[in-house]
C-alpha cells in the first residue's frame, strides 16, 4: 500500500493536474465556444481579430507556457515530498 508520504504527493499532483486541465480547457474549448462573439474584438497592438488570433497563435502559445509552468510546478511538488528523480540518469 502507498505510504502517507506518497499519498500526500499524489494529492498535490492531482491538484496540479486539475488546475492544468482547467486552463487547458479554457484555452482549447471555452474561448472557441464564443468564437463568433469574440472575433469582433481587436487584439491590442497587433490588430488581429481575437478569435482568429487565438487559434492562429494565442492558444498555441498558451499551451507551450502552460506545459513549461506545470512541469516546473510538478518538479517542486516532487522535491517537496522527496520523490524527485531529476538527478537520476540511469535506471
Partner 1 sequence: MFKGKFVDNLPKIYGLYTGGFLLFFLAMMVAEKNGVSAKMIGILFLTFTIAIYALIGVLSRTMNVSEYYVSGREVPTVFNGMATAADWMSGASFVAMAGGIYYGGYTYMAFLVGWTGGYVLVSTLLAPYLRKFGCYTVPDFIGTRYGGNFARFCAVLVLVLASFTYVTAQINATGTIASRALGIPFGTGVWVGLISILLCSMLGGMRAVTWTQVAQYIVLIIAYLLPIFWISWRGDFGLFPHFTLGHEVARIVELEAQYGLVKNSAEAIKAAGVPAGLAYINVPHAAAPEGAMAAWKFISLAICMMVGTASLPHILMRYFTTPNVTSARRSVAWSLFFIFLLYFSAPMLATLSKIQLMDPNLKTSIIGKPIDQVMAIEWVKNWISVKQAFIADFNKDGILQLNEWFMRGDVVVLATPEVAGLPYVVSGLVAAGGMAAAMSTADGLILAMANALSHDVYYKMVDPKADVRKRLLVARLLLIVIGVAAAYIAAMRLTSILGAVAWAFDFAMSGLFFPLVLGVWWKRATKEGAIAGMLAGLISGTWYLIYVGPAFMAKTPWLGIDHLRFGIIGATVSLVAMVVVSLATKEPDAATQKMVDDIRIPSGKTVISHR
59-80 and 4-25 helices cross at what angle (nearest 10)? 170
Q: Is 22 in the site for partner 1 (CB under 8 A)?
A: no
Residue 76: CB atoms within 10 A of its CB come to 12
From residue 46 to residue 65, what is the string marking binding to partner 1 with x (rule CB under 8 A)? Answer: xxxx-xx--xxx-xxx-xx-
Report the sign of the C-alpha dihedral through residues 18, 19, 20, 26, in that order.
Answer: positive
* Minimal distance, residue 14 CB to partner 1, in Å: 9
Q: Which of 59, 77, 71 is nearest to 23 (CA)?
A: 59
Half-sphere exposure of residue 6: CA atoms within 13 angstroms, side-chain side: 3
Q: Is 2 in the site for partner 1 (CB under 8 A)?
A: yes
Q: Which three cell numbers stand for residue 74?
A: 510538478
Q: Is 10 in the site for partner 1 (CB under 8 A)?
A: yes
* Minimal distance, residue 90 CB to partner 1, in Å: 8
List residues near partner 1 by CB under 8 A: 1-2, 6, 9-10, 13, 17, 20-21, 24, 27-29, 32-36, 38-39, 42-43, 46-49, 51-52, 55-57, 59-61, 63-64, 66-68, 70-71, 74-75, 78, 82-86, 88-91
Amino acid at each position: 500500500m502507498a505510504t502517507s508520504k506518497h499519498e500526500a504527493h499524489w494529492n498535490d499532483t492531482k491538484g496540479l493536474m486539475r488546475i492544468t486541465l482547467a486552463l487547458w480547457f479554457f484555452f482549447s474549448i471555452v474561448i472557441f465556444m464564443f468564437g463568433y462573439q469574440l472575433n469582433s474584438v481587436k487584439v491590442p497592438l497587433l490588430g488581429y481579430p481575437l478569435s482568429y488570433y487565438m487559434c492562429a497563435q494565442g492558444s498555441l502559445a498558451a499551451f507551450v507556457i502552460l506545459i513549461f509552468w506545470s512541469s516546473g510546478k510538478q518538479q517542486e511538488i516532487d522535491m517537496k515530498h522527496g520523490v524527485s528523480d531529476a538527478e537520476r540518469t540511469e535506471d
